[in-house]
Structure 1
Amino acid sequence: MSVAALSVALLTAGPAQVAVAQDTPAGAPAVPTARTEAAPGVPAERLIVGYKSAAAEAKSDRAAADDAQAKGKEAGEDVDFRRRLGTGAALVELGGEAGTADVADVVAEYSADPQVAYVVPDRLNKPLATPNDTEYTKQWDLFETTAGMRVPGAWDLATGSGVTVAVIDTGYVTHSDLAANIVGGYDFISDTAVSVDGNGRDSNPADPGDWYAAGECGQAAGSDSSWHGTHVAGTIAAATGNGKGVAGIAYNAKISPVRVLGKCGGYDSDIIDAITWASGGTVSGVPANANVAKVINMSLGGGGACSTATQSAINGAVNRGTTVVVAAGNENQNAANSSPANCGNVITVAATNRAGSRASYSNYGTVVDIAAPGGETRTGTANGILSTLNSGTRAPSTENYASYQGTSMATPHVAGLAALMKSANSGLTPAQIESAIKTNARPLPGTCSGGCGAGLADAAATVQAVKGGTSTGSTYGSTTAVSVPDNGSAVESPITVAGRSGNAPSALQVGVDITHTYRGDLVVDLVAPDGSVYRLKSASSSDSADDVRTTYTVNASAEAANGTWKLRVQDTASADTGRINSWKLTF
């Protein structure tokens, strides 16, 4: 099949969401604008309502139901409490005939209530891939010198053993090259019109297909089933060394398929519960998760700001120790306009092509953390990302392999890398995983207009950095650029180290990347958490070369490891300026 790129700008375009701050005083006015659509031109049928913790509605379903009826009466609409989400928020349903103005009236009633922390539409999300059905055997994205992710160099150190990755997507269609690594998941699609399988939520995450006819899903043309979740899962953990098919990045990791996307996409409320459950949280009416994931892959998204409801679920997952990896989006626009790419506490992934440049479709911008191979089939299907699939155009048929392109394909590369890291060093926190991936990235071999984060993810360098022996070998870094003024005051770039025991090592590695047109002007110091200063570089009037790109070794054994370390840089002479691009500490 050949299908145009699926848009991620599907949740709505328009005014900002209603979100009242958690500490909003009683009687404070609510935000006056409201997002009222689940997708462009489609009024929301459900709302996600977060109550302040002290409110009765935050604890009692009956109170939330009574409140929904009262709000509906005031607005002149039918409003019913549907269920409690895993984050504690309430999902309420509006009458099927409610138009945009009607939804706005209900939103206004909730937002005027001082006991309501936020109210947002239950938005529709879409897979972020552009599929084609041509099969190739070459996985350039893993090993090719130019723009591959250098995965084979990591396999001597880790293969993903002991780590479960939750693929929150379309579910899983049986494939012999994946079957050995599949563990129990869940189908979180509650709307039967979306689920296609004839029922609501259950323990069977099988993908029945997500095809739609012309004129459905807001699309002029129809689409065959994508088997999107199975393609994503194969990139992460397809069986390797079994004499057939493709190799997975973390091929000894386990995949827990968590189904949230069906016909026309999937709703925020289902995704929120999936994030909560996958990471070990409790969701009402859903059995406890026996396969808690330490990594979540979400190759999905929609337009608009990250809703407070979604951010709450992500924060909960990260606080439980789960790393959340998300796609930047496929619109060739700033990823700040795409959710969950613009959420906090996630690793947002842009896509690169076989030449190592930003793929033409990939979103970009300051919210992007890292880039990874996503393919670009307009230059030939061999330049896509090959993975596990199914030949069925509607219902499942025979298993096969095919090359897709998209930030959906880039994201599982980073999720697979996160699984390798967690396998190599089980003590890593989500923040440490993100920091190490960014700090050990390599510059893009090609170009990226708009910003592709720290560069191209490098599996070998990253896993090596976190592997370690008796120490963890963990790397902590900063990629936030800091300008160094000409002949001016010193500037500082901080890195916070947490979760370590004891003191820093006697051979602390300090990697520095500073751009400057006369490096002899610079004085560079490492400042320990207690304020102690370690001179890394002194000024020298005879050193006229450009830039400081090197690694210093410091005996920091007298310093506590935890705390905020700073790189301090000062330009001591006139006529040249510079910039701290990045720096890192390796313990």
Structure 2
Amino acid sequence: MRTSPNSPGSSPRRKLVSVAAVSAALLTAATAQAAVALESSGPAPAVPAAQAEAAPGVPAERLIVGYKSGAAEAESNRAAAADAEAKAGRTGEDVDFQRRLGTGAALVALGGNATGKDVADVLAEYRADPQVAYAVPDRLNKPLATPDDTEYAKQWDLFESTAGMNVPGAWDVTTGSGVTVAVIDTGYVAHSDLAANVVGGYDFISDTAVSVDGDGRDGNPADPGDWYAAGECGQQAGSGSSWHGTHVAGTIAAATNNGKGVAGVAHGAKISPLRVLGKCGGYDSDIIDAITWASGGTVSGVPANTNVAKVVNMSLGGGGACSTATQSAINAAVNRGTTVVVAAGNENQNAANSSPANCNNVITVAATNRAGSRASYSNYGTTVDIAAPGGETRTTTSNGILSTLNSGTRTPSAENYAYYQGTSMATPHVAGLAALMKSANPALTPAQIESAIKSNARALPGTCSGGCGAGLADAAKTVQAVRGGTSTGTTFSSTGAVAIPDAGAAIESPITVGGRSGNAPSALQVGVDITHTYRGDLVIDLVAPDGSAYRLKSASSSDSADHVTTTYTVNASGEAANGTWKLRVQDTAARDTGTLNGWRLTF
């Protein structure tokens, strides 16, 4: 942690991830390019390619360090603190263990005056340690907004036949009751059209320079405003408060049939506001803990979550690769049964360059305009899973997305409604849809929710240069499909982790399936979670009870990325469902090791 906060107007020494403004205007291309440039710096030559996920040669104030399973530092805060002290001695830098994240990673503070070279030196020291799985800068994130209910007629995004998401047809089946959606954002400013659906959340901002409310973490996720003056936050012009999290929450679950305001996509669901974004944005470490806590994980110093979310909405992010630290938190959340929905980004570029849009195990959402074409600002590409209405206000304000807001320019004032545009506005449409699906069929897994959203999408009525995933999400068709039983949601999981020997014999992990009738389905879902520092070394097979093997993944000398965290689909209709299934994994090359953390079969 820095020795003193940056003074107002000074250039932050933190590594910025965001390339999007909080206001209704798009961030300038020059600023976006500058932010991306921070992420594009190459790693030091000694750093393995698998760890080249964040630029080490830029100023940063904190690092997130993940230790390998079995290392003393992975379990003991005292050992992690001693390791930080040892690395401080070797590098001559100020290195100090701060706390344990919900994923088990260690948050390590650097001196407040650390230069890019200082950060690179400390990162290199950690990454050279055989007990360290990863070490990445603690990056700063920002909101991705450029942005009988009386205003319902203005919500074209819900019902218009051209480019609406066909939401009213889904309400005949469910309104989302029984499901909590965590909105990881700027917090919540009181609004009477949303209050009935808000349950307990948490303020995860630990840095008082970011929090604005004068304190650190606490149980009050109220949004005090995220305004900044000219020259602050790396911006020439200042900006008023966005009330971004409240706008997002209203799209998901604004109260409906209450004779006022707007309708929420899943107005029977509950919103748990988790505050991670404040002045100038928010740190990865706080977002990681929010993801962990939202999904039912444990975070040191934070009370147990009594409103565990089955859906997480993250309308935030910026440039660069998905860090191993963030990916670990997402994987753990998905393994707990929580669907994670994220914004593609607003830079009119390939979403592969935006995080967390480019993380695995998330549903990445692009934005469309009222004509059903990709909005001019929306990111695109093969990383995008689905598109949803995000609006486009450059010619007509009412072509944006109308939702709950506040009229205060800095601090909260009177509640109101406003049109915003952005992938931040598209994302809660899909998070709301996921809540409707989970309510209609509680057995659905995150993988099944993603698959059903994509397979029931309709073609964009307009155009999308660069690719907008499976098309425009269709709420009515998707909810009807999952209620109709196309996804049974019956899941069988492995019971323990298995080490994968380096260039050694294949290991096998069993799952015994019982109580099924007939054969396995033609779309058997095989979820795999493997930690490995060069996944191209791995060969993965599913072995049926009769010994038949189905190749899921072959080895590849060109695939140097970390880990295998994905779901494969296998036509196993020729196999008896009951019996012992096995996942067989072999490391075919030397130097990198890993662990099969777990796997599952979903029928």
Q: Is the shorter-chain TM-score for this pair beyond 0.5, marking a shared fold?
A: yes
Larger radius of gyration: 1
Q: Name the CA distance, whole Å, in 2 between partners of 1:153 and 1:562.
A: 41
Structure 1 residues 242-261: aligned runs within 5 Å = 242-261=258-277
Question: What SS class does the counterpart of residue 66 from structure 2 fall into?
Answer: strand
Q: Name the CA distance, whole Å, in 2 between partners of 1:86 and 1:507.
A: 36
Give how far 1:502 is off: 2.9
Give how far 1:31 is off: 5.9
Alignment correspondent of 2:55:
35
Q: Does the CA contact (< 8 Å) of 2:319 and 2:353 recur in 1?
A: yes
Alignment correspondent of 2:108:
92
1:49 aligns with 2:65: yes
Q: Name the CA distance, whole Å, in 1 between partners of 2:299 and 2:343.
A: 25
Kindly provide the CA deviation profile for residues 23-59 of structure 1, in whole angstroms up to 9, marking residues without a partner as x: xxxxx9996896237xxxx611000000111111111
Kindly provide the CA deviation profile for residues 439-478 of structure 1, in whole angstroms up to 9, marking residues without a partner as x: 000000000011100000000000000012xx565599xx
Q: Does the CA contact (< 8 Å) of 2:513 and 2:580 recur in 1?
A: no
Q: Does the CA contact (< 8 Å) of 2:24 and 2:145 recur in 1?
A: no
Q: Name the CA distance, whole Å, in 2 between partners of 1:499 and 1:419.
A: 29
Alignment correspondent of 1:406:
422
Question: What SS class does the counterpart of residue 269 from structure 1 fall into?
Answer: helix
Alignment correspondent of 1:14:
40
1:164 aligns with 2:180: yes
Give how far 1:348 is off: 0.3
How many residues of Structure 1 are paired with residues of Structure 2 in the alignment? Answer: 490
Question: What SS class does the counterpart of residue 377 from structure 1 fall into?
Answer: coil
Question: What SS class does the counterpart of residue 146 from structure 1 fall into?
Answer: coil
Q: What CA RMSD, in Å, does the superposition of the two structures yield over aligned residues?
A: 3.2
**Aligned pair partner of 2:281 in 257, 260, 265:** 265
Q: Name the CA distance, whole Å, in 2 between partners of 1:17 and 1:149.
A: 43
Q: Does the CA contact (< 8 Å) of 1:20 and 1:31 recur in 2?
A: no
Unaligned 5+ residue runs, structure 2? 1-21, 491-511, 524-543, 549-572, 582-602
Q: Does the CA contact (< 8 Å) of 1:8 and 1:127 recur in 2?
A: no
Structure 1 residues 116-131: aligned runs within 5 Å = 116-131=132-147
Q: Name the CA distance, whole Å, in 2 between partners of 1:446 and 1:32.
A: 38
Unaligned 5+ residue runs, structure 1? 22-27, 477-497, 510-527, 532-555, 565-586
Kindly provide the CA deviation profile for residues 321-345 of structure 1, in whole angstroms up to 9, marking residues without a partner as x: 0000000000000000000000000
Q: Does the CA contact (< 8 Å) of 1:465 and 1:474 recur in 2?
A: no
**Aligned pair partner of 2:91 in 75, 87, 90:** 75
Kindly provide the CA deviation profile for residues 509-547 of structure 1, in whole angstroms up to 9, marking residues without a partner as x: 9xxxxxxxxxxxxxxxxxx9999xxxxxxxxxxxxxxxx
Alignment correspondent of 1:225:
241
Q: Does the CA contact (< 8 Å) of 1:436 and 1:474 recur in 2?
A: no
Q: Name the CA distance, whole Å, in 2 between partners of 1:213 and 1:262.
A: 14
> Percent same amino acid at aligned positions?
79
1:4 aligns with 2:25: yes
Give how far 1:379 is off: 2.6
Q: Does the CA contact (< 8 Å) of 1:77 and 1:94 recur in 2?
A: yes
**Aligned pair partner of 1:373 in 389, 395, 414:** 389
Q: Name the CA distance, whole Å, in 1 between partners of 2:41 and 2:332.
A: 27
Q: Name the CA distance, whole Å, in 2 between partners of 1:259 and 1:463.
A: 30
Using a 3 Å threshold, how does the CA distance of structure 1 residues 191 and 2 change in structure 2: closer, same or farther? Answer: closer
The one-letter code matched in structure 1 to 2:479 is: V
Q: Does the CA contact (< 8 Å) of 1:52 and 1:116 recur in 2?
A: yes
Question: What SS class does the counterpart of residue 209 from structure 1 fall into?
Answer: coil
Q: Name the CA distance, whole Å, in 2 between partners of 1:341 and 1:412.
A: 14
Q: Does the CA contact (< 8 Å) of 1:236 and 1:415 recur in 2?
A: yes
Alignment correspondent of 2:460:
444
Alignment correspondent of 1:502:
516
Alignment correspondent of 1:295:
311
The one-letter code matched in structure 1 to 2:422 is: G
Question: What SS class does the counterpart of residue 211 from structure 1 fall into?
Answer: coil
Q: Does the CA contact (< 8 Å) of 1:8 and 1:126 recur in 2?
A: no
Q: Name the CA distance, whole Å, in 2 between partners of 1:32 and 1:261.
A: 26
Question: What SS class does the counterpart of residue 174 from structure 1 fall into?
Answer: coil
Give how far 1:426 is off: 0.2
**Aligned pair partner of 2:407 in 371, 385, 391:** 391
Q: Does the CA contact (< 8 Å) of 1:64 and 1:90 recur in 2?
A: yes
Using a 3 Å threshold, how does the CA distance of structure 1 residues 84 and 473 change in structure 2: closer, same or farther? Answer: closer
Using a 3 Å threshold, how does the CA distance of structure 1 residues 432 and 71 change in structure 2: closer, same or farther? Answer: same
Alignment correspondent of 2:365:
349
Q: Does the CA contact (< 8 Å) of 2:377 and 2:422 recur in 1?
A: yes
Question: What SS class does the counterpart of residue 394 from structure 2 fall into?
Answer: helix
Q: Name the CA distance, whole Å, in 2 between partners of 1:144 and 1:108.
A: 54
Using a 3 Å threshold, how does the CA distance of structure 1 residues 301 and 261 change in structure 2: closer, same or farther? Answer: same
Using a 3 Å threshold, how does the CA distance of structure 1 residues 293 and 33 change in structure 2: closer, same or farther? Answer: closer
TM-score w.r.t. structure 2 length? 0.76
Give how far 1:127 is off: 0.4
